[in-house]
Structure 1
Amino acid sequence: MMIQNGEKNTISNIGFRIVKDFKRADSKIIEGFKGIATPNIGDVMGRFRAMDYRIKTINKPGIHIVGNAFTVRTHPSDNLLVHKAMDLAKPGDIIVIDACGDMGNAILGELMCHYAKVKQIAGYIVDGPIRDLQAIAEMGFPVFARGGTPRGPYKEGPGEINTTISCGNVPVNPGDIIVADDDGIVVIPIEDANNVLEKAKAVQQKEAGIIQAIYNGTWDRSWVDETLMQKECEIID
């Protein structure tokens, strides 16, 4: 169901449909996640909502992007709906593509990255392969994918834009916050964003304190032996 002007409207053409817009997170929340590493964010979400490790950056080390998810579900080997998504996405959005993890045909390449860069799209997350890896890496546009192939895509459809998808075994809704870096990708439900942000900041501050304690020799390690004792671990001299 889609709600417009307080009225419910049925979207009936399941599998081949486009929702043009959705609610995005406040810009302050997006800014707040910048600089927070994905492991810290994942830890405060029960160690869930991290995408499959095989979806990884093709960029040089040091990548870190944050943005609202602009979701695309595309038939494996086809990118017609990805092209439409590029036209509809707003500056700062991250286009997240569910291509079913199929590795047969590239879902996007260099030209689509140049266009996305001009549109100020923040990056692509692709549950599938891409092509032109070296060219994309050299231009510095953020792309995360399962790998590469020279085999190009078709442009026939079907597919969906801005519906719930699965990417890297994680559900993604339009407007969810995506944070992606060298470690991988986490998905933060938009309704939980404030809570997750505060908890992730606290973890970040705690780890900064631990690093300082390591170097000044005050890191309390007693918890290790205490945990082993609680679990009745046998220690032999």
Structure 2
Amino acid sequence: MKPVIVTDPPRADLAQVAQLADYGVATVHEALGRSGLLGPDLRPIQDGARIGGTAVTALCWPGDNLMIHAAVEQCREGDVLVVTTTSPCRDGLFGELFATALRYRGVKGLVINTGVRDVTDLRALGFPVWSAAVSAQGTVKATAGAVNVPVVIGGQVIRPGDAILADDDGVMRVRREDVQTGLEASQARLEKEAAAREAFAQGQLGLDRYGLREKLEALGVRYLTAEEYEKEQA
């Protein structure tokens, strides 16, 4: 890794990203072919937050938050700061002072594949955070990393300027060139779900609506009465 700070990455359109966030992570993830989810480890420190913004990435060394300080300068209105480390780390790289600085710059929230601390203060501040851990363990500011370079979290490559969506269901990345496609696919899925919801409210079963009875039959699943089942088990 070469130490570098990229100052002017292209960003997805913020208005479109905001619209995409309104659909929610689960809907967009499904609509885009179950792609982009940053794995199960990132969890919100608060309930009910839903954000969408453009990624500013920071690649740090374990136990070292120097490059988060550098990344703050590169953040602007509508961004989401995305932080990871060169190898696994659960130390508290981020706290309330960072959040205060980022709020001033209009940053939507933080996604970090390490730990955070000052959780009570972060909640009181209303600064949304998704992290892999909570830890009071402090850090140093000693080793150069990189800002606004592609990083990998949960098997997904996140480039600076990609759309980041996060809510109670998790965090996902939408490539900046796929945001419009995501909007169209998510709206189609929303309409499909609305039709299914209405059908279920009228008593229709998923087995019938989705043709799952035929699938069960093809898989060899049989319907037995309790008496028939007991006889087979004897």
TM-score (norm 2): 0.89
Of residues 70, 89, 107 in structure 1, which corresponds to 2:75? 89
Partner-residue secondary structure (3-state), 2:23:
coil
> Aligned pair count?
223
Greater helix proportion: 2
Partner-residue secondary structure (3-state), 1:166:
strand
Partner-residue secondary structure (3-state), 1:34:
helix
Code of the aligned partner of 1:48: S
Equivalent-residue separation in structure 2 for 1:160 and 1:170 (angstroms): 18
User: CA 1:121–1:62 in 2, change beyond 3 Å: closer, same or farther?
Assistant: same
Instruction: For residue 79 of structure 1, report the CA deviation from its aligned partner.
Output: 0.9
Equivalent-residue separation in structure 1 for 2:178 and 2:90 (angstroms): 36
Of residues 2, 6, 11 in structure 2, which corresponds to 1:24? 11
Determine the structure 2 residue equivalent to 1:156: 142
Determine the structure 2 residue equivalent to 1:5: none
Q: Which runs of 5+ in 2 are unaligned?
A: 226-234
Instruction: For residue 218 of structure 1, report the CA deviation from its aligned partner.
Output: 4.2
Contact 1:162-1:173 at 8 Å conserved across structures:
yes
- Runs in 1 of length 4+ with deviation above 6 angstroms? none
Q: Counterparts of 1:95-174 in structure 2 under 5 Å?
A: 95-100=81-86, 102-174=88-160
TM-score (norm 1): 0.88
Instruction: For residue 100 of structure 1, report the CA deviation from its aligned partner.
Output: 4.6
Instruction: For residue 146 of structure 1, report the CA deviation from its aligned partner.
Output: 0.9
Code of the aligned partner of 2:219: K
Instruction: For residue 235 of structure 1, report the CA deviation from its aligned partner.
Output: 3.8
- Supply the RMSD in Å over aligned alpha carbons: 1.7
Bigger Rg, which one = 2
Q: Percent identity?
A: 26
Determine the structure 2 residue equivalent to 1:8: none
Determine the structure 2 residue equivalent to 1:233: 221
Instruction: For residue 228 of structure 1, report the CA deviation from its aligned partner.
Output: 1.1
Instruction: For residue 219 of structure 1, report the CA deviation from its aligned partner.
Output: 5.2
Of residues 40, 52, 55 in structure 2, which corresponds to 1:69? 55
Partner-residue secondary structure (3-state), 1:128:
strand
Equivalent-residue separation in structure 1 for 2:55 and 2:87 (angstroms): 18
